[in-house]
Amino acid sequence: MSRAVLITGASSGIGEALAYEFARRGYRLAVLARRVAALQELEIALRAAGSPQVVVHALDLRDPAEIEPALSACAEMLGGLDIVVANAGIAPRTPVGRGTLADLQETIAVDLTGACATVDAAVRHFRARGGGQVVGITSIARYRGLPNFGAYSAAKEGLHRYLQALRAESWHEQITVTELAPGYIDTPLNRAVRSRPFVIDVETGARLMADLIERRVAYATVPALPWRIAGRLLQLLPTRLLAPRRP
């Protein structure tokens, strides 16, 4: 039987492209997101692309109590999960001190609390099952607090640290912890950003990510170059070079 992978945030962007990539590789799939109608359309396309089984499930990461029951329901329908990809995320502009508290709270709720709760539920399932692979999608934004995207940067760095802790905690278990930190991949999430250096198309990004997941890497930027170097340089860059122009 083919391996089973669960992907959150699968209705668009990286999650949708990654679902297509895994379908073409013959994986069984569980695709989760808030927009069930979009997932139902995706289900038909994923079957046509080569997936032998596709499970659709509604999930709103803003309600952490939904996460473990959703994962368990998908696992039951697929006969267990081999890989869980905590991908769902949002990236609204959250300039500090400009009345964006609601956006800040939602970003932390989805990108940090929701992602960590997804990882937690996956690990619980893998421990009961005897092993598996949990994949956390962070970002090159975790390397540095980016102007106007402080909440997003903070959430991705927080998820990075959470995955680090899990990697140590699960070192003697049959659990693989993979963190992928994409650079600019062309999706609706970042199309409003004024500058997107080294941007790549989402199909290429999904193919690279699927390859890395299958290789069970611990950590990688996507693509590896230039972001493996650029991420480190971001940490050293003088703040004045990141500061937005005065209005």
* Residue in 152, 162, 184, 219 annotated catalytic: 152
Let me know how many helices (H) and strands (E) the chain has, helices first: 9, 9
Count of CB atoms within 10 A of residue 160's CB? 18
Burial class (CB in 10 A: 0-12, 13-18, 19+), 172: exposed
Across the strands, what pairs with 21?
none
20 is catalytic: no
DSSP 96-135: TTSS-HHHHHHHIIIIIIIHHHHHHHHHHHHHHHT-EEEE
DSSP-based three-state secondary structure for 27: coil
- Residue 103, token pair as written in the block: 């956006």
Q: How far is CA 61 from CA 23, 75, 87, 172, 215, in A?
A: 24, 18, 11, 30, 28
Q: Please give the structure tokens belonging to residue 95.
A: 């300039």
φ, ψ of residue 137 in degrees (nearest 5): -95, 110
Q: What is the DSSP letter of 244?
A: P
Catalogue the active-site residues: 152
